[in-house]
Structure 1
Amino acid sequence: MPPKIRRATLATVAASAGVSVTTVSKVVNGRADVGPETRALVESLLEQHDYIGRRSPAGHGGPATARIELMFSGSLNAYSTEIIQGVLEAGGEAGVAVAITTRPRPAPSRPRGWARDLAAAGRRAVIAVVDELTSADLAGLTRAQLPLVVIDPLNLQRNEVTSVGSTNFAGGMAAAQHLLALGHRRIGYVGGSTRSACNQARMHGYRAALEAAGVAVPDEYQRTGDFRYRDGLDGGAALLDLPVPPTAVFAGSDETAAGVIEAARARGLRVPDDLSVVGFDDTEVARLASPPLTTVRQPLREMGGVALRTALRLAAGEKLDSHHVELATELIIRGSTSGPRCGG
């Protein structure tokens, strides 16, 4: 673990600026009775020293109410809704509030001092469901002494970053084994980014099951994307337009699976008569799909709850037995899978 970094004090900043502690305090608290040049100097030094004040957020009297920051990349969807519900339920049980923020894709660089500002606003820890955390992000959180927990990590640059995920490899294997047991031999995969650790695990599980059964996996049967509906629509179209298309598709998320089902419908194919489809997550999308989607249940609400409780433990200075926790996945069989018409 990185060494604990001592926070700068008002006195530290005052000594660097050559002003009184009172003057620095006025700047920190937004008082107007400080000259513009002195204010600019003090604010610059506060930035350099990564000073974390104790004031409430601007415009709110009294102590900050939100204690845990939950960060997402991109727009919210069924997957993120399940995680949010789990975090909020665990937060309610623990008596803490949760602030939710999102940033667009591709994600812009975070401003310098963003972590310090979170700590100054009263956050105790950060839970992240993001595309990528940079070295600068991690360093900023360390300087601000804000513990970080990542859910379903996509790309982590440090082994010691605490994360919560699921048994993605086992889930991918279970999906492929289910399709093999039904008699399918031409099984495609439409998943997420090649940089995504969870996508790689799901795809490797799928490949392991097929290879163990002696089934070849053509390169053209594997498509990557971003776990979104459009990726399923495009990836499914590409697979179904092949000279020898698959008779079944394992999709890396329920949303992607819904896109694959639509790609099949647009080509006059019926699910599961002409094409079997398996998803991943078991979100509301799976239950509302037509037909209801066979999928690998990823315990998203439980993952959110574990992340919240882990973040609070870290904020309290507790040591963890492991930096990564994986919750079990489970295959849920519904109406989108059946045996192939012509032997797979």
Structure 2
Amino acid sequence: MDSEAPGERVTLAEVAGEAGVSLSTISKVLNGRADVSAATRTRVETLLADRGYVRRHGRAEARTDLIELVFPELDPIWSMELIDGVETVAKEHGLSVVLTVSGNRHAPDPDWIEGVMRRRPIGIVLVFAELAPEYRERLRSRAIPFVIIDPAGDPSPDAPSVGSANWSGGLMATRHLIDLGHRRIAAITGPEDMMCSLARVDGYRSAMNSAGLPIDPAWIRFGDFHVSGGRDHARELLALDEPPTAIFAGSDLQAVGALDAARVAGLRVPEDVSIVGYDDIPLARWVTPRLTTVHQPLKRMGEEAARLVIRLSDETPATTPRMDLATSLVVRESTAPPAGTPAAR
């Protein structure tokens, strides 16, 4: 068996000789078998990548009826929007979706790649900030494409991805509060090492600066995107000597936590404090008051990622595909002018 690389042909026998292993070991590596040492597997895959090896008819051999969707964790609300989007497109193409939970928000666990080699999906959709170069090379050697859904990071320029406009989302949420008359506006966002957290806060800062409003450092809080994080930070903000009259939360779940903190503090939303969320998950329409939020098109992000990975399984584009979807503000009942202003309700 051999394969063409640009300008040359490489045989597996040559790779085996250079690696000092048998052809059967090369076959085990290519087929994702577990009975190969990590050192040998790395040596073989490095040689295959260096020699530009891609299986002849690799896409046809690797193709199955599966798209693999990989999360670092499953949130019962937020994750379902992405799953729904990927499944919708998969069904349109007669494919099924296999769901994997692995690693942390930065990357899947090392043993994940071994399972992928065995499952041979048509392609992989990853909800991670990045994919390590060695993983990319292993996938490339098997002609398995991947796409990163990017609501939570900033992938390398050569990583196919689907993301959304986080900076403009933070900008429009804060401008909405400023236009209502708020001047003391706080921001609660996610982890400080995630690009989406930083981008949303940068949008907040830009809106405040352009309006000539001061930003108290105590008003910006980094945490996580969960309810408990929003509750804890909002409780501290509302206990300040001069508490904010409005809070921009980096996720709807954080906003729900902020709603609870306001209730416990005896404050009314939006009469005493306005709250804006981010994502526009279905829960935003069911809480009381209904949540003003930034719509992040999570389902469509899943759909576009699935379409892209299917296309990449059939063709190699000249440039790395990257798509950033627009965000929009959805105004509901959790925001109003601050108490005491002429326009206050």
In which range does the TM-score fall when normalised by the shorter chain? 0.7 to 0.9
Secondary structure in 2 aligned to 1:49? helix
Deviations 1:141-177 (A, max 9, x none): 3444432211125344622111111121121111111
Question: How many Å separate the matches in 2 of 1:25 and 1:232?
Answer: 51
User: Which residue identity is paired with 2:286?
Assistant: L
The aligned runs of 1:243-254 (5 Å cut-off) are 243-254=241-252
Question: How many Å separate the matches in 1 of 2:170 and 2:9?
Answer: 45
Q: Does 1:164 align with 2:168?
A: no
Q: Does 1:327 align with 2:322?
A: no
Displacement of 1:199 in angstroms is: 1.8
Deviations 1:264-302 (A, max 9, x none): 111111111111101011101201211110011111111
Equivalent residue, structure 1, for 2:59: none
Equivalent residue, structure 1, for 2:44: 49
Displacement of 1:119 in angstroms is: 3.5
Identity of aligned residues (%): 38
Equivalent residue, structure 2, for 1:224: 222
Deviations 1:67-113 (A, max 9, x none): 2111111232322110110010011112222111112647787236x
Deviations 1:108-134 (A, max 9, x none): 87236x435413322122111125544
For residues 226 and 7 of structure 1, do their structure 2 counterparts lie closer, same or farther at Cα, with a shift above 3 Å needed? farther
Question: How many Å separate the matches in 1 of 2:308 and 2:25?
Answer: 39
Equivalent residue, structure 2, for 1:97: 96
Kindly indicate whether the alpha-carbon contact (under 8 Å) linking 1:119 and 1:146 is maintained by their aligned counterparts in 2. no
RMSD: 3.5
Kindly indicate whether the alpha-carbon contact (under 8 Å) linking 1:153 and 1:163 is maintained by their aligned counterparts in 2. no
Displacement of 1:11 in angstroms is: 5.4
User: Which residue identity is paired with 2:321?
Assistant: H
Deviations 1:10-67 (A, max 9, x none): 7578766776x67987999999xxxxxxx967997566434999xxxxxxxxx98552
Deviations 1:192-219 (A, max 9, x none): 1122122222111111111111111111
Kindly indicate whether the alpha-carbon contact (under 8 Å) linking 1:133 and 1:155 is maintained by their aligned counterparts in 2. no
User: Which residue identity is paired with 1:339?
Assistant: P
Deviations 1:221-265 (A, max 9, x none): 111112111110111112111111100001111011001111111
The aligned runs of 1:148-227 (5 Å cut-off) are 148-156=146-154, 158-227=156-225
User: Which residue identity is paired with 2:70?
Assistant: M
Secondary structure in 1 aligned to 2:178? helix
Displacement of 1:328 in angstroms is: 1.3
Question: How many Å separate the matches in 2 of 1:30 and 1:103?
Answer: 18
Unpaired segments of 5 or more residues in structure 1? 32-38, 54-62
User: Which residue identity is paired with 2:90?
Assistant: G
Question: How many Å separate the matches in 2 of 1:202 and 1:27?
Answer: 43
**Quick check: 290-299 or 134-143, which moved more?**
134-143
For residues 107 and 302 of structure 1, do their structure 2 counterparts lie closer, same or farther at Cα, with a shift above 3 Å needed? closer
Unpaired segments of 5 or more residues in structure 2? 49-53, 56-61
Question: How many Å separate the matches in 1 of 2:91 and 2:108?
Answer: 32
Secondary structure in 2 aligned to 1:280? strand
Give me the TM-score of the superposition, normalised by structure 1. 0.81
For residues 27 and 150 of structure 1, do their structure 2 counterparts lie closer, same or farther at Cα, with a shift above 3 Å needed? closer
Q: Does 1:257 align with 2:255?
A: yes
Q: Does 1:86 align with 2:85?
A: yes
Kindly indicate whether the alpha-carbon contact (under 8 Å) linking 1:66 and 1:99 is maintained by their aligned counterparts in 2. no
User: Which residue identity is paired with 1:325?
Assistant: M
Kindly indicate whether the alpha-carbon contact (under 8 Å) linking 1:27 and 1:43 is maintained by their aligned counterparts in 2. no
Kindly indicate whether the alpha-carbon contact (under 8 Å) linking 2:246 and 2:274 is maintained by their aligned counterparts in 1. yes
